[in-house]
């Protein structure tokens, strides 16, 4: 080493030599790298990253984690057996984990049974329709015709009178059916009847009414059993004319059936036919028989309003195996709230004597108000208000 203080800096260095400062810096950097690598290796060795496999069973056979154990983590972040956390235990799935022989875990998710609080699939075709689907007809119980879709018995033997009947308890206590008729003729009266009358009351729509499809749907959604009301010839016809398409004893069978079908095609989802007037027609067995037969073969019932003492309804209905019923009391012969209430009390006496009774009324304001109040009180006396189909005489009823 040249110690001459006057010699220029670096002139005493051997050719090709390295500076000592650079060598020392390189060694320091290399040492730091080794320390970092070693530290990282130790860290990963002890870290536990959740990726390790479970120890396979000694037998070498797969083992299944029970479903009921895997599906009950204590919180959304809980980790069930197997080291695999569910993303959300509230998702409604059953979880089954299987540890395979090579240590891998297979997870299977399947739906849980519903607890009744979630969405529900509703069968529109069930007997005694669910109210949420009651405004929709069962297409299997309809056939196309020039007069609209007409009711028929389905391929499986199901009848419209069963499909659209209002469900009831099945108890053999005192039962009363109340039918309010003439709906569709007055918009305000129809609306009041649907909105005010208890859902247990049966509603009959006049075939000559207006906006019948709309009213039918609203009545069905409100829980009512419904009927179609058809005009029949009275004794004093034509001085007393029930309206267009009245069934007449002077018409041919084909003409009367056409008039019947024209009325039937106005709406769907009804259990039967109610007469409007018809003293003369109902007393003529020859005119009535083909009409009653057509009603029966379509799976409907016939309700006679009970106004004609000469009616042949019972004899003809039995001969044609048509379900039928008679009204026991006309509730609003006198259109007065108190008078109608008295008739309802009479209806109750008949029901207690016979086990059941049917009352009919028109959709007058007084009738609607009296029936609404009386039915509420009758329930507290142990009387069950049912749809008229529940009280029909029916040879095919099980």
Q: Are 274 and 230 in contact (CB under 8 A)?
A: yes
- What does 77-110 look like in DSSP terms, one character per residue? T---TTS---S-GGG-EEEEEEE-TTS-EEEEEE
Residue 137 has pLDDT above 50, yes or no: yes
Mean pLDDT of 256-271: 98
* Domain ranges across the chain: 63-110, 133-391
The pLDDT score that the predictor gives to residue 100 is 76
Please tell me the number of Cα atoms within 13 Å of 283 on its side-chain side: 12
Q: Which fold has domain 133-391?
A: TIM Barrel (3.20.20)
User: What kind and span of H or E run contains 294?
Assistant: helix 285-297
Residue 286 has pLDDT above 90, yes or no: yes
Distance between first and last Cα of the chain: 126
pLDDT reading at 91 higher than 70: no
| 49-74 per-position pLDDT tens digit | 444 444 444 444 444 444 444 344 44
């Amino acid at each position: 080493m040249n110690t001459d203080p006057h010699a220029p800096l670096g002139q005493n260095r051997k050719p090709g030599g390295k500076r000592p400062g650079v060598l020392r810096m390189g060694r320091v950097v290399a040492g730091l790298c080794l320390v970092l690598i070693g530290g990282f290796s130790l860290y990963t060795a002890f870290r536990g990253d959740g990726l390790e496999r479970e120890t396979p069973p000694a037998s070498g056979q797969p083992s299944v984690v029970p479903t009921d154990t895997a599906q009950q983590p204590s919180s959304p972040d809980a980790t069930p057996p197997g080291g695999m956390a569910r993303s959300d235990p509230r998702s409604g799935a059953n979880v089954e984990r299987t540890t395979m022989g090579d240590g891998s875990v297979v997870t299977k998710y399947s739906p849980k049974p519903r607890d009744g609080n979630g969405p529900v699939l509703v069968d529109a075709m069930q007997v005694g329709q669910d109210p949420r689907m009651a405004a929709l007809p069962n297409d299997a119980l309809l056939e196309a015709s020039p007069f609209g879709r007409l009711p028929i018995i389905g391929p499986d033997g199901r009848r419209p009178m069963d499909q659209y009947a209002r469900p009831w308890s099945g108890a053999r206590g005192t039962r009363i059916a109340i039918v309010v008729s003439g709906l569709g003729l007055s918009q305000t009266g129809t609306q009041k009847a649907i909105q005010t009358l208890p859902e247990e009351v049966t509603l009959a729509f006049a075939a000559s009414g207006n906006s019948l499809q709309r009213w039918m749907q609203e009545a069905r959604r409100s829980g009512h059993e419904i009927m179609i009301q058809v005009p029949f010839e009275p004794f004093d016809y034509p001085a007393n004319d029930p309206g267009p398409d009245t069934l007449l004893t002077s018409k041919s069978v084909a003409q009367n059936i056409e008039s019947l079908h024209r009325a039937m095609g106005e709406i769907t989802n009804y259990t039967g036919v109610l007469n409007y007037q018809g003293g003369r027609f109902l007393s003529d067995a020859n005119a009535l028989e083909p009409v009653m037969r057509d009603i029966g073969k379509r799976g409907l019932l016939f309700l006679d309003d009970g106004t004609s003492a000469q009616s042949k309804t019972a004899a003809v209905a039995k001969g044609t195996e048509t379900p039928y019923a008679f009204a026991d009391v006309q509730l609003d012969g006198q259109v007065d709230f108190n008078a109608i209430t008295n008739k309802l009390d009479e209806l109750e006496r008949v029901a207690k004597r016979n086990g059941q009774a049917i009352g009919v009324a028109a959709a007058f304001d007084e009738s609607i108000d009296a029936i609404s109040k009386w039915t509420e009180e009758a329930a507290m006396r142990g009387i069950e208000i049912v749809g008229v189909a529940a009280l029909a005489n029916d040879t095919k009823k099980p």
